[in-house]
Structure 1
Amino acid sequence: MPSKRLSVVVTRRLPEVVETRLKELFDVRLRDEDVPMTRAQLIEAAQEADVIVPTITDSLDAGLIGQMGDRLKLIANFGAGFDHIDVETARQRGILVSNTPGVVTDDTADMVMALMLGVTRRIQEGLGVMQEGRWDGWAPTAFLGGRLGGRRLGILGMGRIGQAVARRASAFGMQIHYHNRRRLRAETEEALEATYWDSLDQMVARMDVISVNCPSTPSTYHLLNARRLKLLKNTAVVVNTSRGEVIDENALTRMLKAGELAGAGLDVYEHGIKGNPDLRNMPNVVMLPHMGSATQEGRVEMGEKVLINIKTFADGHRPPDQVVPSML
């Protein structure tokens, strides 16, 4: 007699091919509306499921996890970041947590380069002029930006994405520097032609572009705080595709308004989904709605990892992408 299929709840709409496969393998409850569940809906759903598949828009804090009941055994996150999940509380309650690392690496690194170019080549300003019909012809001194080649790039966080950024930036002729929790192996550093800085203060003071590619943890909260941002050259550009909380956004905004930084490219924000309102009116700031991993290929691959994590768990094994305490 076949074993009972796992009950799985998905909190957001996923690519159709992923939802179809979930229906084939599990007793799955999908969303009709593509809006975040309320706190009450999350609790109710988890109490009736063996597995819940949340996304970054679901805040699974200690209080919520504590009300999820005893049936839930796996939180199979759709996404690489897991700072919206209280992993320690889940572990204490015997709930495993998995994520989808690796599949967004290239997509996010591509977006870092897009944001760098968007700011340094003033693409947003040119686009606005064309869309508003204000262009009155080419001029030798119009829309002058700067080339990336020869600039010093400081990468904050040299994991998968940081290294992918380094490889792309090197192809543009940029000089690669980085600060990381742990120094890379010598052969990796050599392959990337990357210079390691033990002191983040010393690195940021000498860079032309800073790319934030570290996860959001208690130790990285406001890692680029007001004091450290003041160390940057006034010709420097800041790009963030990681998590908004790594940068003191209000301090960044003040410096951009005062002309103490050349520009910023942001895909994530510290407060809510819209960022500081003052940023939206600055011609030297490119703002995107968290599009770093938004490719069809990437989202399907994320779904495939979720499927593998749940199927492996259903077969009585630990999910291959289980989040463990050393990752926190």
Structure 2
Amino acid sequence: MNQLLALTPRRLKLLIIALPLLLATLYYALLAADRYVSESIVTVRQASQDSAGSVPGVAMLLGGVNPPSRDDTLYLRQFIHSLALLNRLDAELDLRGHFEAETADPLYRLYDGVSQEWFLDYYRSRVEVTFDDIAGLLTVRAQGFEPAFAQALNAAILKESERFVNDFSQRMAREQMGFAENELKGAAARLQQAKSQVLAFQTKNKLLDPLTQAEASSALTAKLQSEQAQQEAELRNARTFLNDSSYQIKALRSQLEATRSQLDIERLRATSGRTGERLNRLAADFQELILQAGFAEDAYKLSLAAVENARIEASRKLKSLVVIEPPSLPETARYPRRIYNLVTLAVICLLLYGITRLVIATIREHQD
């Protein structure tokens, strides 16, 4: 404390203002390495799903598989800062060798033998990735101590990014294809089972189509009832002028008895049948089996169309990397911003000097 109070304003200025500015000026003039920035702008576009929508029901079966392109762009941003990409870039461009070569700059060089985690943090500080939430664009800025290396690093990042998007798209297509094929197998099994049930029903009851048989029996019964009513009317009419022992009356009675007997037979056939089942119950059961078979056939057609659509989708890119602006070749170094940094440091030093003078004056006032 006494040493601080002993400092004169001139020495305080030298210590707080002049010395930091001198050291910073010497660093930026002699040691700081120029860092060039190559910039590119990309986005991930999703292929149109018109082909799936053109097949009825396919969009319903396959819908919800593909995520929005905004999410894909965010996935790509995480991939660019991933350790897997760093290892690929290091193997291709020798990132360690480039960033370790600038030995004069003690602040922004990469030191020999640093750990994998330290190297990843260093890489993330040299590759800036920003996402425009409104336009859905991804801006990649890659730094390098040489302009050509910064451009090569940015281009390599875009090449690996395109491979990542393609692999991701193809993997989704394969999963979609597998799902559609499994649905097709299940639909085919259900269709075969439904057909077998229809055949077993026909074989068991020895009826090709109980619905047709029931309709025919109902039509025949209605016809016999109509004939019976007509014959009864003729018999009553004949009795008005003939006695019951006449030949015509006996003939009409005989014909009426035959019609009644046939009507009873048809009614019995419709309500009992050979197997003891009622014909209307057989018709209802058969109709249910036919509906199940029709539904299984429709599901099979839908699954078959889904497989064909998935095969088409698998043969083309579902997602693609669109390069809005290719990697630029920088002509001037963007970093370090020497004048800006020196001015900022000067302002900070002046503020610190003023605060220190105020503290010293306050302490001296309390001592007096």
TM-score by length of 1: 0.23
TM-score scaled by structure 2? Answer: 0.21
Highest Rg: 1 or 2?
A: 2
Choose between structure 1 and 2 for higher RCO, CA contacts under 8 A separated by at least 6 residues: 2
Task: Determine which structure has the larger helix proportion and give its number.
Answer: 2
